[in-house]
Chains A and B, each alone.
Chain A
Amino acid sequence: MIIGLFNHWVVIILMMIGLYIVIAHGNLIKKLVGLTIFQTSVFIFYISIAKVDGGTAPILADGITQYSNPLPHVLILTAIVVGIATTALGLSLVVRIKETYKSIEEEEIQQQDNEEQLTKHKTEDSA
């Protein structure tokens, strides 16, 4: 059972490591790295369920009877390229946040927002 389910368990461990980074770390780039780990763990999951014992790469050739399942390969191949495109979008948001707030730490950004709101309230009160 341990060998049979080892891949699934490793996928879950990697996924949870990614999730932990996304929740607990304040740095936005670190969060994106965590998201990449999470994403890759899903890729590993799909590819390991596609594997058939004694199978080979799904490219038709003479004398081969057992192939691994090609469908998950297709899904993940496109997902990887879409993943980099969306990561780039996330990174460009990080760049803009850095330009506006001069920081990419979540706590500092929140603090600046709170201060801004406070001063706004004060000016409204005095008016």
Chain B
Amino acid sequence: MINIVLLTLLVVIAIAIIRMKDLFAAVMLAGIYGLLSASFFVVMDAVDVAFTEAAVGAGISTLLMFVVITMTGRKEKSIRHKPLPALFVVIITGGLLIYGTLDMPYFGSEDAPIHNHTSPRYINDSMQEIGIPNIVTSVLASYRAFDTFGEVVVIFTAGIGVLTLLSIARTKKNDEEIESINDSMHQQHLVVRIIAKMLIPFIFLFALYVQFHGDFGPGGGFQAGVIFASAIILYAMLFGLVTARKVINQIFIQLIAALGVLLYGSVGIVSLMNGGNFFDYNVLSSNPITGQHLGILLIEWGVGCTVASVIVVIFFNFAGRRELQQHKKPSQDKESSK
């Protein structure tokens, strides 16, 4: 029953997003949409996925869109691009898809084809073969490690892409001017600053807990990386980007992103050199189960490092671009008034 209510709410929010002219409200609704779908995932037993969606869909993606809106303006023009043909296309496609669902197995049925192939092995044998209770982590980090490696490389590549598009050469003089503006602005947020300073160590601790407890409960490198990055982003938002850059050097964090991918790949290479298949952790140690534990620990570290540093790099680049743009504007105004 809960899932029907949640799904109906999701549809209502999606329709509200169509009608919103104000982009700020639309992005805020998209964040609520992410949080609701995370609650839906909990109802569907997908705790790991819910964890990730809550951190990413409701947190980081909303934040990034807000940063972009501050640069591009929050009002949407009301001109629609051919709404009627679009509606026609959408209704035809939707109708065909709904016709397609009539042959599908019903929701929750035990004998659906998806539950009869490969997944029984994961559920029945993963304890003997891998030796950790969380099946999702076993599949993610061991059975399908090659697939996950591909995903990590995609994340890394997207990070490089953002870096290429948005990175700017910073001069020291600019930095100092921006810093003085920031300092005067942030005096207003004294309470928030102090509370955030108290919270940040606990967020880091929680991220590490999620990282290392991923074998036994929901969690793992992907979620831990996002949580770790969100603590750094919180710091950067409250104390200004220039201060945050002093704490975390951007070159250093770019290096960590690359090292994460390297660590992940090297685990595969080492297992190749020990006579096993690519990402076959059994050969990493004399006892296959110990080998599996070691392999999963190492690649989860690789994933965590890459995800955390790519998200921090992405945020730093967006915010840096924004800061420089807003810094340029007043000086240009002065020149034009002369």
Contacts and interface: CB of A to CB of B under 8 A. Distances in A.
A73 B94 contact: no
B30 A36 contact: yes
Nearest to A108: B77
Contacts of A70: 119, 122-123, 135-136, 139
Contacts of A57: 45-47, 218
A91 B108 contact: no
Interface in A41-94: 43-44, 47-53, 55-61, 66-74, 76-89, 91-94
Contact of B82 (A16, A24, A69): A24
B76 interface: yes
Interface in B165-198: 165-166
Contacts of B112: 49
A80 B52 contact: yes
Of A66, A69, A93, the most chain B CB neighbours within 10 A belong to A69
> Which label, helix, strand, loop or mixed, suits the secondary structure of the A interface?
helix
B93 interface: yes
A99 to B, nearest CB: 8
Interface stretch (B152-160, B247-255, B267-275, B283-291): B152-160
Contacts of B318: 88, 91-92, 95
Given A58-B135, A94-B68, A33 B27 contact: yes
Nearest to A99: B325
A40 B36 CA distance: 11
A55 to B, nearest CB: 6
> Which label, helix, strand, loop or mixed, suits the secondary structure of the B interface?
helix
Contacts of A9: 98, 101
Contacts, number: 292
B81 A23 contact: yes
A81 B151 contact: yes
Given A5-B107, A88-B162, A47 B44 contact: yes
B314 interface: yes
Given A25-B76, A77-B136, A98-B72, A40 B57 contact: yes
A105 to B, nearest CB: 5
A98 B71 contact: yes
Interface in B93-134: 93-94, 97-98, 101-102, 104, 106-110, 112, 114-115, 118-119, 122-123, 126-127, 133-134
A16 B93 contact: yes
Interface of B: 3-4, 7-8, 10-11, 14-15, 17-18, 23, 26-27, 30, 33-34, 37, 40-41, 44-49, 52-53, 56-57, 60-61, 64-65, 68-69, 71-73, 76-77, 79-83, 86-87, 89-91, 93-94, 97-98, 101-102, 104, 106-110, 112, 114-115, 118-119, 122-123, 126-127, 133-136, 139-140, 144, 147-148, 151, 154-155, 158-159, 161-162, 165-166, 216-218, 220, 222, 225-226, 307, 310-311, 314, 317-318, 321, 325
16 contacts: A4-B109, A6-B7, A10-B11, A18-B14, A23-B90, A29-B68, A50-B44, A55-B45, A59-B217, A60-B135, A70-B123, A71-B122, A73-B48, A78-B148, A80-B222, A85-B159
Interface of A: 1, 3-10, 12-21, 23-27, 29-30, 32-34, 36-37, 40, 43-44, 47-53, 55-61, 66-74, 76-89, 91-96, 98-99, 104-108
